[in-house]
A and B are shown apart, each in its own frame.
Chain A
Amino acid sequence: MSPRQVFPALSLHAQALQCGRGGTVLGRPVDLAVAPGTALLLRGPNGAGKTTLLLTLAGVVEPLEGNFALRGWDPDEGPVLHFCGHRNAVKPRLSVRENLQFWAQVNGGGGLAVPQALEQVGLDMLANLDAGYLSAGQGRRLALARLLVSPRPLWLLDEPTAALDRDGHALVGRLIDGQLDAGGLVIAATHDAIALAGPGRATTLTLERAP
């Protein structure tokens, strides 16, 4: 399974975090406390602000009110999170290996080597294929492989199982388990259930639309 990469004990806390984009308030103020080595699954109808919450935690969007803190991470150790959104950030004209190599170099490798990461996500046979030929599900797997090549404690996943088949779901479960084993945090917005090893590893938070 994934190598024993022990992260410092990291926890995420948010107090009355109110997210929004373009001035419109999305969802209700959120209180979070994600203990080290656990996952948080975000549920809720479309437009409840799941993606906006993830973007806020990723530091891309600014919170309207309240704040959140990441305890246990020294900022000058470099970037702390991986964001995996709906768009897979895959260049069609580059081959699958070149895509992953680029991300390994840009995010500063240190995790699995490119061939092993491709093997983990089941794309090792297509390494030399241009990424333009990949299906949506395979593109999603390539995006997930990016998380493996450079280990980071916090994963922010926006519907990781989108466009994936049944064993794709199992793959996502395995990857998240691997990350939690290594002491990292995972926050995933998802509609379908993600099977994790232990029951206590994931808490669920359901967001509703703003009143």
Chain B
Amino acid sequence: MNAFGATLARDLRLALRGGGDVLTLVLFFVIVGVVVPFAVGPDQALLARLAPGMIWIAAFLSMLLGLDRLFRPDHEDGTLLLLRQADLPLPAIVAAKLVAHWLLAALPLLLASPLLALLLSMDLASFWRTLLSLAVGTPALAAFGAIGASITVGIGRGGLLAPILIAPLSVPVLIFGVGAIPAGPGPDQSGSALLFLAAISLIACATAPFAAALAINAGED
């Protein structure tokens, strides 16, 4: 298995064997969703209208939470420094870590979203649409997350800073993400929103590894 596969397999093995890392993210996702009715009130119609936005906010927050695990452990035990001397250029290694991050942070949320849809009394049609927009949008969140994590890896207590940095960059993803779910009055532009979302995801996933590698190299050791 070449270096790309090795990095991907190692990250997956570390997280799954690491006990509970994935589970905590899913729990956080569900809790953010469950808290909404307490704050907004149990009125079914209102919840149904808010549901797509709330699921997206829950996914957005829990992906921010999983950011610190991306580069910091490797930086602290010296692996990141050695990965620069690997057979594969650093952007490719970062791409492998990005894929692992999506599999560990975003995929579990997609699998857990039916539970939230049930709790927020979403109808089946808009649930499938939400799932689709999440699947298309979360790679962009993972890509921006990788950039944010690589920038703050060099800072001692930078863990809190990455979410602040990438929240503004993720505004378009949220807008088109929720926009891709047809809801309520007004012109139905969910089709075009989904296309914009896909475009942003593709651009982000294509450029993030290079930007992240550049930030890691610029950070020196």
A interface list, Cβ under 8 A from B: 21, 55, 58-62, 78-79, 81-83, 85-91, 93-94, 98, 101-103, 105-108, 146, 150
Question: Interface-forming stretch among B61-69, B75-83, B173-181, B206-214?
Answer: B75-83
B interface list, Cβ under 8 A from A: 1-3, 5-7, 10, 13-14, 17-18, 76-79, 81-88, 93, 220-221
Closest to B219 in A: A60
A106 adjacent to B86 (CB under 8 Å): yes
Residues of A within 8 A of B81 (CB): 60, 83, 85, 87, 89
- Tell me the complex Cα distance, A91–B15, Å: 12
New A-B pairs, 16, CB < 8 Å, besides A59-B84, A103-B82, A105-B2: A55-B221, A58-B85, A61-B221, A62-B220, A78-B87, A83-B85, A85-B78, A86-B78, A87-B76, A87-B78, A98-B10, A102-B7, A106-B6, A106-B88, A106-B93, A107-B85
Do A89 and B78 form a contact, CB below 8 Å, given A61-B221, A98-B13? yes
- Tell me the complex Cα distance, A78–B85, Å: 9
Instruction: Give which listed residue, B13, B79, B85, contacts A79 with CB less than 8 A.
Output: B85
Residues of B within 8 A of A85 (CB): 78, 81
Could you list some 29 contacts between A and B, CB below 8 A? A21-B220, A55-B220, A60-B81, A61-B220, A83-B81, A83-B85, A85-B78, A86-B78, A87-B77, A87-B81, A89-B78, A90-B77, A91-B10, A93-B18, A94-B17, A98-B10, A101-B6, A102-B6, A102-B10, A105-B1, A105-B3, A105-B5, A105-B6, A106-B7, A107-B86, A107-B87, A108-B87, A146-B82, A150-B87
